[in-house]
């Protein structure tokens, strides 16, 4: 077999192993999240906690806030069960230390969002809500004239 042939078959095997591992990871997440009635919203993501700045002993707010119980307290620090994290951001919003918890998440559109401060999360959420509102208005009033007409009617 030529060098080129060997490279291509080893690449195929590597790709196959990666795809299999990814499928197993997704299946495991579905199995864990289904009993909670929670569906995945983001196609992928990651979460990290800076153990040096975390005020865990006096705080533990993120653990109380997490809707999936992905966070737990053990051996004097906050731990994460990654398979249970849906990257919702509730822990970042409740964290008392900026840049302690960091989340990176990817939407099905390919858009990547990163945040590690409650303020950043709120700005992001505000933008998302704004877009949803605009979309809803467009659905109800496809043309600007429709909206103006309705507005005029309600003033009469």
SS3 (DSSP) at 50: coil
For 4-151, strand residue ranges (E) read 44-49, 71-74, 77-80, 101-106, 112-115
Residue 101 interacts with ligand SF4 (CB under 6 A): yes or no: yes
Residue 60 interacts with ligand SF4 (CB under 6 A): yes or no: yes
Closer by beta carbon to ligand SF4, 19 or else 64: 64
Task: Please give the Cα distance from 105 to 43 (Å, whole number).
Answer: 8
Interface segment toward ligand SF4; rule CB under 6 A; list 91-99, 108-116, 127-135, 139-147: 91-99
Residue 61 interacts with ligand SF4 (CB under 6 A): yes or no: yes
Among 33, 42, 78, 116, binds ligand SF4 (CB under 6 A): 78
Task: Please give the Cα distance from 140 to 148 (Å, whole number).
Answer: 12
- List Cβ neighbours of 45 (8 Å cut-off, separation of 6 or more): 85, 87, 103, 104, 105, 106
Query: Do the Cβ atoms of 66 and 33 come closer than 8 Å?
Result: no
Among 95, 115, 120, 121, binds ligand SF4 (CB under 6 A): 95
Residue 33 interacts with ligand SF4 (CB under 6 A): yes or no: no
Among 29, 40, 44, 59, binds ligand SF4 (CB under 6 A): 59
Query: Do the Cβ atoms of 127 and 115 come closer than 8 Å?
Result: no
Closer by beta carbon to ligand SF4, 94 or else 141: 94
| Residues contributing to the site for ligand SF4 (CB under 6 A) | 47, 49, 54-56, 59-62, 65-66, 68, 70-71, 78, 85-91, 94-97, 100-101, 103
């Amino acid at each position: 077999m030529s060098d080129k042939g060997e490279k291509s078959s080893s690449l195929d095997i590597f790709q196959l192993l990666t795809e299999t591992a990814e499928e197993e990871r997704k299946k495991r997440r579905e199995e864990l999240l289904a009993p909670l009635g929670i569906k995945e919203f983001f196609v992928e993501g990651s979460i990290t906690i800076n153990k040096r700045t975390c005020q865990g002993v006096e705080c533990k707010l993120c653990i109380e806030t997490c809707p999936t119980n992905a966070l737990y307290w053990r051996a004097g620090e906050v731990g994460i069960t990654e398979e249970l994290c849906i990257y919702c951001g509730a822990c970042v919003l409740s964290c008392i230390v900026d840049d302690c918890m960091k989340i990176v998440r990817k939407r099905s559109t390919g858009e990547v969002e990163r945040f590690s401060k409650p303020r950043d999360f709120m700005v992001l959420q505000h933008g998302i809500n704004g877009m949803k509102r605009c979309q809803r208005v467009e659905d109800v009033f496809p043309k600007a004239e429709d909206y103006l007409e309705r507005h005029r009617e309600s003033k009469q």
